[in-house]
Structure formats: structure tokens, C-alpha cells
Structure 1
Amino acid sequence: MSNIILERYRIIELLSGTPGGRSYLSEDTSQSNFHQYVVKQFLPSSKDSTLLKISHDVLETETKPLEYLAKKDDRILHLSNFFIKDKNFYLVREYILGQSLRKEIITGQKLSSEKVLEILLEVLEILVIIHYRGIIHRNIKPANIIRRESDNKLILTDFGAPQEAVSNLVASSEYMPIEQIYRNPQLNSDIYALGIIAIEALTGLSASEITNRKNQKNSDAQKIVWYPRSHKVKAKLAKIIDKMVDLNYQNRYQSAKEVLNDLQTINQPQPNLVLQPLKTQFSKNPKLFLFLGSFITVSAVGWFFFASKDLNYARKLYYQGIANYEKADYKQAVKLFSQAIKINPQYSSAYNFRGDAYYRLGNYEKSQQDSSAAIRNNPQDANAYYDRAFSLYLVGEFNGAIIDYNQAIKLNPEYADAYYGRGLARHEIKENRKAIADLNQAIAIKPKFTKAYFQRGIVHREIGDKLEAIKDFSKAIEINPKYASAYYERGKTRYALNEKAAAKKDFTKVIELDSRFVDAYIARADVHTDLGYPKQAYDDYEKAIEMNPEDAKAYVHRGKYRFQMKDIEGAIENYNQAIKLNSTQSTAYNNRGNAYLELGKWNKALADYSKAIELNPEYASAYYNRGLLRTDLAKVPGAIEDYQAAADIFLKRGEKNNYQDAMSRIKELTP
């Protein structure tokens, strides 16, 4: 078979074959060292070109996150390549020199509890990594867990999702829990499969024998009966495995971290194990009892110091920290990660997670420091650069954030979140075209990246491309129909395009999804005002203020409403309240200036316009309004200066009509 070539792969031998496909050992002829790969051939149930194209697209989507994880941890083996030839699919992965667990777990032979515990701990460590990214393996079985010959590590291969994308073949049924059979896999479906492997190893029974036992005693039972006592299994281990293979996934362990935490307590070091060598010495030399007394008196934590040197204990603390992080108990998570780092100062992952916890607590400086420590300990960790970039972004160090995002992308060119983050940072420094390019790339890598569509819509609107903005917000809504913020921003954009009925519909949808969305009430009230529904407008403004009496913006908008209703004094009262709550509200000063102008209080109006411009030098309307007032006051040079400033800002924003209006004002004043 060595003369058969599939694309650039020369077939060396057939490894396995089934009615649905075959696996070949091959070598890559495009590489000078002829590196070896496993090429898996799948025979699709349909040869229809359209269906093949759909399968190809699904496969491409499924492999992207796996590719990222494989670069992050070499215990995760992803697809190196895939292609279609003669309407058959071929998936290519690196060939690992070693043996699968099928060579260690043999029907009729039993492994010790200690050996099975080692296997469980090692595989669960990998599952923690993939589950943290929301990926389900779906194909856990002994044949897909390989013990690598070079370092004796267990390697996880042949994820189920890519295979399901191109074939009806899924994981072997004896390892599949019921929810996965019904196409509803959960993260803990992988835990079930691993539990079945553990029972195989402990009992010597085959997987099919084990799963058939679930109906022997009671057809309605939620447990697999495998009689652990008759197989001399440690009671604590048996109890944990029972929970791993609960037939109801809601009763099963909910995360790999939970299983790890429980397994690590089985052989938890005891104090006497640390002090035993000392006891032997004391029996030989009674004078050492004096030292023992001093030892206990001076340092009550002496034992803890010695025990904590065990890196397994550091790992246990780390996973406990993750468990607390998942429960949003970030302070406790920080304490646990800190203890793990104290034991193992090179614990890159602990620095990473502690940095995330500090971020959640709002301590961006410490978050940044921990990301830097993670980078020092593992310079190839793209995620650490991403985390530090995010911390820098939050403290306003946008250029520094871009540098770190660049490095994250260099290490992982398919890092969609890094492109997204760099897009946000570039938007902040007004590099909007580059920001859009980054967001485009994020979407190309992750086509259902709702936040990227949402943010691209914001940028499109800022550069005056409102129709493109609406398309982006609509796409975000299509992917996530409950995305309240996307409806809100689309409503704002439609309002700017004078599509008021459509804007009102969007704001109403926001309120349906989130009845506490204050800004949606304010925006809908503005629409009601413009459409001539004063009662509805008033009710919405009142609701917004009732929900948040400290929201200056609500008073600004109600002031504008009262101004339109000719209640000028009432409008000024609202603007005064807004300024009292937030003295940096430039809109309140500008609008109060309009109200003072209506009352003929020109000096107060002029002072308010100037204050608005001082607070926001990019406030085009305030320049324009001050220009109008200076025109009336015959202060022509100042008026021309104001109109020009307004025109420049309008032009930069793409507001052509406003720009032309301001320029026509200048022309009228220019001899």
C-alpha cells in the first residue's frame, strides 16, 4: 500500500477498518523528515455536494478551538489537516509513538485502585482544560487515550465533534451516556465515559458488560451496579466513580474539577507521615525531644510547611481555587491560588487564574502583575499575554494592550478573542479602520462571535456607516435573540436614521428582555416625545428615574421633554438636578443653555455652552449653538470660529448635512 498517495500523504499501512471508514499510518511527503500521521477516512452517508460543503464548513468551525487548545497543551492532540477526495472525508492527526490505554485496560484483568487513580487524575487534568473552553470531547474511550512513549504522559486524541461533522459515526455506544445518545451531550458526558473506563480497569469487565448491569436490579434505577466490594476497590474511590457514572447527568458530577478535588482527598498526606522519620530519631536520641518542644512552640505551622512542599498539594489548592472562581467567590479563589503559588512559585496556570480573579475584584493592577508572572514562567502562553492585554485595556493603557494582543496573535494566529480585544483597543485610540479589520478577523475565525458583531456595529456607527451598523447589530441578534444590548444599540442607530417606529420596537423588545434596562426606557421615552405621545413619554421617564434616582442622564432627557412641552422652567429644574448629580454632564449644560436662551438669559446661555465645550471639546452641537448665540450678539469672529469647529467635528463623524449647514452659516457671515 506504500504507493498510495492521498493528497500529500503516502500510506504506509492500514491500522484499522470499519464499515464507516478506515485509519492509515502515513507519512507527509511535503516534509523533509517524512513525519508520520494517522489519516482517518470517513465514508459520508451522502455524496451530495451541498451536504459535503456543509460538513466541511461545520468541520472547519469545530476544529478551530481544538487547534488553539493543542497549541496551549501538548497532551491534547488536534487535527493537523482535513480534506475531501473522491467525495470521501479524510481527517489527519499526528501519529503518537506509544500505546493506547486499551493495552493497559484488558478484559479479564484488574488494575489496582492506585493505578486507576493515577489514570483518572491525569485524564481529568486534560478534561479541566478542554471543558474550561466549553469543549466536550464526546469520544472518550481507552483507544483514544495514548500513553506517549517519550515522556509516559497520557495524550487525548480523536475528539468526537470533528468526526460527527463528516460522518454518522460517533463515540462507541458502551461509553456514551443516555443524553449523548439523544444528541444532547453535556460536559459531564465525558466524565461518565471516563468513569466507565475506571470500572473496566478495576473489575476486568468489558464496557458492554458494565453498562448492561444498569437494568439488572431495577429498570428505573439511575445507577450502574458494578459491585465494587467484590473487587476490593477502595470505598472512597468506588463512591466517586458511582457519582461519575450516574445515569442522570443532573445528579452526576457537574465538572471535571469537582471530580479531581474529591479524588485528591483519597491519598491526602497526613501529619504523621511527615513526622514519622523524626520519631525514629527521637527514640534513638532522647535529647532530640528538647528540639521537638522548641519546634512545636516556635512554629505551630511547621508541619504545614513540610507538607505543603508536595506539588500535588499545590495542585489540589489550585483546583479548589478554580472551584471557588466558578462560584464567583473571587476572594477565596485568590487565597487558594496564592497558597498554590507559595508552594510552587513557577505555577503559571495559578498566576493566570489569580490574575482573572483579581480582574473580577476590580484590582486591575494586580491582575496585570499576575499575567506578567504567568508570561515569565511560560513565555509561550498566548492566553497570559491576552489576560495582561485585557488588564492594560481596563486601566486605559491601550497602546500597551495592543502590544500584548500582538504577541498573543503571534503565538496563536487563530486567537479570535485576541483580535477582538485588539479591535477594542484600536477603537479607543481612534484607529477605527484597523479596529474593523481586527473585528472582521475575529468573526472570520469564529463566525458566531456575537460580541464582535456588536462591537463592529458600534464602530461602524461612529464612522457614520449606520446601515452597516444596523446589519451588524441584526446579525448579533440573529445569533442570540435575547441580546438586549444589541436591540438597544440597533434602536439607537435607527433613531439616528429617523426610523422612529422601528427604533421604538427595538427599545420595547429590550424592556421585554430586561425590565431593569433604564436606558431603554429613556430612549423609548424620547421616541414617544418625537411621535407625539406625551403621556407615554412621561411614564417612561418616570419609570427610569424611579429605578435609578441617581441617574443624571434620565433627568437630562426628561428636561429635554419638558423643553419640548414648553415647560422651560421645569426643564431648567431637571438640568439643574442632572448637574447636581454629575457635574461633568456636558449635555445638561448645553441643553440648559438652550433653555436659558429661550428665556432671553443670554449670558447664562453663553456660559453654559462654553462649559459644555470645556467638558467635551468634541461637542459639535454646543459649538454650533454658541455660534448661533454669538451671531445674534454680533460677535462675528467668535461665531465663525464656533461654526468652523462644529463643521470639522461633523465632517469627521460623517454627518454631511450638519457639516453643510455649519459651512453655510460661515458663508453667510463671511463678506
Structure 2
Amino acid sequence: MNRFSEKITNFQDEYSLQKNQLAQLCGSKQLFRDRYAILRVLGRGGFGITFLARNALLPGYPLCVIKQLCPKTTSSKSWEKACQRFEQEAKTLAQLGSHSQIPMLLDYFENNGEFYLVQEFVRGYTLARDLQRNGPKTEAKVKQFLREILPILQYIHQNRVIHRDIKPQNLLRCEDDGRLVMIDFGAVKEKLVDNADSSNHKTASTNFVGTMGFAPPEQFALRPVFASDIYAVGMTCLYLLTGKGPLDFDQDITGEICWQKEVNISDSFAQVLGKMVKFSLSDRFKTVDDVVKALNQENNLQNLTNCLTTKPLSNTQYLPKEPTPQYLSPTARTAIAIREWKAKLNNKQSNRQLNCYLSSVSN
């Protein structure tokens, strides 16, 4: 516990990059921990700072991301919770292993009372930036997005992990191979109970973790479940379809967001999307398998509808039709044309001979 209280004074004011050790190493030849060449700052938030670096000890000097814990807090209790969250992220990344759509954990250590996490660097851009550049997506594009993200979500749920902060800013499109990558597991929570309404469920002692609008009501009540991630994915779909964040939509008296008039999608897909973003947990999809099953049924229904006629038959359609001409190959058509040409030629020769005969008889 002493290590937490000793570090509080370092963060009483806003953490200054000028005083940050890694920030001072940006662009210099000096290595951090005799291994990492710090290149530049990638991002900064209330929880920490991330740096782009190279591992100078490995062949090819591969790029990596170093995440440093820098919470803005004056409370020893808040600092301890931040450290626990940071350690939980490292534990989760190690637990999830080397999934191709989750950044790999490369290192995790404490240095002079500060915590660092080193991850695989994914060269790409967030879905939020992609939408800013290219505008909202079509129904087909959003369905493709679901086909990409649902297997990732299914994988982390099978490992008893709830992400709790799925949003466009935490989803990367890799520039090298186009794959979708889920990042920022700092808000993860291990799922220990399956029934969110269980009477034996103890009140959580941690503060709310997530993003306003993308987090469902049970997450605000500190009782996230697997369906909480499904809600966040559904909200991400609405963002991709409209370019509007969850807080930009109107709400009805029950808390449901009013999004239906903002999108141009099929009724069947709207039903699936609507069940993903239900305000009430009891009305929402409970598992990723349920979402996948509903999407497959929706696709099958749409394909069946396209095969069926919706126009009444006219009276003429009941009359018998003339037989359809038999298909002839080009060779067969050429042979028939030659025979017809010969027949015409023979007719001309016969007519010429007949005319000569008649002329001779008349003389």
C-alpha cells in the first residue's frame, strides 16, 4: 500500500509531458530500460499515456506500444483502483493469448513505482476516423462489420471476459491486411456470475467504467454482463450507419433511443439491430450466439424474399406459351446455314436447266 500513497503527490496536478521520463526520451538515442527507443506520443487520457517505440534488442527493431499508468487523482484509494485496473488489463491480455484481432501483450513491468505495459503495435486507423473521412456506411458494410467483430466478442466472452468499452475509437482497421482489431482492454471485467439479477449478487465497490452512450444501464449500476458488450456493438453499428453518437439521438420516456427514422436499412436487419440496443436487459440478446443466429435467419429470409414474386399474374400468363427455341451451338448454326445455301443453289440450277429445256422445245 505504501507504493500507492508515495506516488499520489506526483499526480496532484495535471501530468506534464515535459516532466515525463518517456516523453523526454522521444527522438533521442537513449533507450528506456536498455531496450526501448521511444519515438513519439500516440495518445493521452485520464488513465495513462501511450508511446510508440522500437525494441532495439530484437532483429528488425519491431515497433511496439508502451502504455504508462498516469491517472489524475489525489486519492490513495483511486490510485490503488487505477493500478488494479492496469494490472487487470495485463492479466486479461495474457489470458486472451495471441488472437490475431487482439494486440499481443509483449511485456509488463514496474519501474520506479510506475507501471508500464508493452503491446504489439497495429498500424491502422480507428473506425471513428474512418467515418470522419469517408462518411456513414451502408447496411451491407455494417453487416460485414458485424461478421468481423462478433467472432472477436465471442472469443473474449468464452474466456469469461467482458470488454465494457467497445466503441469506434477502440476498434482499429489494420492498414497492412485490413483486419479489424479490438484494443484498449483497460476496462475489462472477468465474468464471475451468469445471472445479473441474482439476489446473491453483491454490490460492486468499483466506480463506473465505460463510455457514456455506448454503455447500457446495467453497466452504470456496476453490474455488466456479456449482453452489455452486445449493446455497445449495436450502438457502434448505429454510429456507422448515421455518423451520430448515442447521445445525439432522442430518447423516449422509457429510455430507448429513437434511431429508426435516422437509418435506411431493411426491416429484418432493423429488428436484429433493435434487439441489440434494447434499453432493458431482459429484452436484449443475451449471447453472441443469439445475435449470430438472428443475423443468419435475417439473411435467409432476405434471400427467400428475393426469390418470391410479389406481383399478381396477368391473364396472359395463364395461356400456354410457345415452345422455347432449342439452343444450337455456333457449329450447328453454321452447318444449317451451309445446307440452306446449297439448297438455294440447287434450286437456282434446277430452275436454270428447266428454262433452257423449255426454250429448246419452243424452238
Q: TM-score, normalised by structure 2?
A: 0.64
Structural mapping, 1:447-486, within 5 Å:
none
Q: Which has the higher contact order (CA 8 A, sep 6+)?
A: 2
CA distance 1:108–1:174, shift in 2 (3 Å): farther
Distance in 2, matches of 1:43 and 1:163, equals 21
3-state DSSP class of the match of 2:210? coil
Whole-angstrom distance in 1 between the partners of 2:88 and 2:263: 44
Aligned to 1:224: 257
- Alignment of 1:97 with 2:123, yes or no, is yes
Aligned counterparts of 1:47 and 1:29: Cα–Cα separation in 2: 37
> Does 2:269 correspond to 1:243?
no
Q: Which amino acid aligns with 1:179?
A: E
The 5 A counterparts of 1:358-373 are none
Q: 1:582-603: per-residue Cα shift (whole Å, max 9, x none)?
A: xxxxxxxxxxxxxxxxxxxxxx
Is it true that 1:120 corresponds to 2:153 in the alignment?
A: no
Residue 23 in 1 paired to residue 50 in 2? yes
How big is each residue's C-alpha offset from its partner over 1:96-134, in whole Å with a ceiling of 9 and x where there is no partner?
Answer: 122221232339932110001110121011111111221
Match of 1:199 in 2: 238
User: CA 1:28/1:202 → structure 2, altered by over 3 Å: closer, same or farther?
Assistant: same
Equivalent residues of 1:202, 1:233 under 8 A apart? no
Residues 92, 185 of structure 2: 8 Å contact kept: no
What SS does the corresponding residue of 1:160 show, helix, strand or coil?
coil
CA deviations 1:260-307 (Å, max 9, x no partner) are 111123333847989xxxxxxx966479xxxxxxxxxxxxxxxxxxxx
**Cα 1:99–1:131, aligned 2, differ >3 Å: closer, same or farther?**
same
Deviation at 1:57, TM superposition (A): 6.7
The 8 Å contact of residues 103 and 121 in structure 2, kept in 1 or not, is answered as: no
Matches within 5 A, 1:348-497: none
SS for the counterpart of 2:50 is strand
Whether the 8 Å contact between 1:78 and 1:157 is mirrored in structure 2 is: no
1:32 paired residue among 59, 70, 94: 59
- Does 2:194 correspond to 1:155? no
Q: Which has the higher strand share?
A: 2
Q: How does 1:539-550 map to 2 (within 5 A)?
A: none
Q: 1:181 to 1:78 in 2, by over 3 A?
A: farther
Structure 2 residue matching 1:185: 3-state secondary structure: coil
Contact 1:96–1:148 (CA under 8 A) maintained in structure 2: yes
**2:213 aligned with 1:174, yes or no?**
yes
Match of 1:255 in 2: 287
**Aligned residues with identical type, % of pairs:** 28
**What corresponds to 1:264 in structure 2?**
296
Whole-angstrom CA distance in 2 between matches of 1:50 and 1:178: 23
Alignment length (residue pairs): 269
| Separation in 2, partners of 1:199, 1:105 | 12
The 1-side partners of 2:188 and 2:56 are apart by 24
Specify the alignment match of 1:209 in structure 2: 248
* C-alpha separation in 2, matches of 1:285 and 1:200: 54
Is the contact between residue 89 and residue 186 of structure 2 (CA under 8 Å) also seen in structure 1?
Answer: no
SS of 2:108's partner is strand
Q: Deviations over 1:178-217 (max 9, x none)?
A: 222232211111111111110111122123313xx23xx3
Q: For residues 57 and 137 of structure 1, do their structure 2 counterparts lie closer, same or farther at Cα, with a shift above 3 Å needed?
A: closer
Shift of 1:152: 1.5
Q: Tell me the SS of whatever aligns to 2:132.
A: coil
SS of aligned partner of 1:74? coil
Q: Structure 1, residues 450-508: CA drift from partner, whole Å, max 9, x if none?
A: xxxxxxxxxxxxxxxxxxxxxxxxxxxxxxxxxxxxxxxxxxxxxxxxxxxxxxxxxxx
Q: State the alpha-carbon separation in 2 of the partners of residues 50 and 17 from structure 1.
A: 19
CA distance in 2, matches of 1:35, 1:83: 19
* Structure-2 change in CA distance of 1:17 and 1:58 (3 Å): closer
> Match of 1:153, as an amino acid?
R
Structure 2: how far apart are the matches of 1:60 and 1:262?
A: 37
- Matches of 1:109 and 1:181, distance apart in 2: 31
Q: Give the SS at the match of 1:12.
A: strand
Indicate the SS of the match to 2:37: strand
Shift of residue 93, structure 1, vs aligned partner: 1.4
Per-residue CA deviation, residues 133-190 of structure 1 (Å, 9 max, x unaligned), is: 21111121112211222321111121134699xx979432232122222322111111
Paired with 1:111 and 1:63, the residues of 2 have a C-alpha distance of: 34
8 Å CA contact 2:163, 2:229 repeated in 1: yes
- The amino acid that maps onto 1:201 is L
Q: Aligned residue for 1:392? A: none
Q: Which has the higher helix share?
A: 1
* 2:97 counterpart (55, 67, 70): 70
Report if aligned partners of 1:2, 1:11 keep a CA contact under 8 Å in 2.
yes
Unaligned runs of 5+ residues in structure 1 are 275-281, 288-671
Cα distance, 1:21–1:266 mapped onto 2, change above 3 Å? same
Asked whether the 8 Å contact 2:106–2:119 carries over to 1, the reply is: yes
The aligned amino acid for 2:147 is L
Residue 150 of structure 2 aligns to which amino acid in structure 1? L
Aligned-residue offset at 1:35: 1.1
Aligned alpha-carbon RMSD (Å): 3.5
Q: Which residue of 1 aligns with 2:18?
A: none
1: CA distance, partners of 2:78 / 2:281: 36
Q: Could you list the runs of 5+ residues in structure 2 that have no partner in the other structure?
A: 1-25, 191-205, 308-322, 329-363
Q: CA deviation at 1:253?
A: 0.6
From the superposition, tell whether residues 245 and 57 of structure 1 become closer, same or farther in structure 2 (CA, over 3 Å). Answer: closer
CA distance in 1 between counterparts of 2:246 and 2:133 reads: 9
Distance 1:283 1:249, change over 3 A: farther
Q: Which residue does the alignment assign to 1:606?
A: none
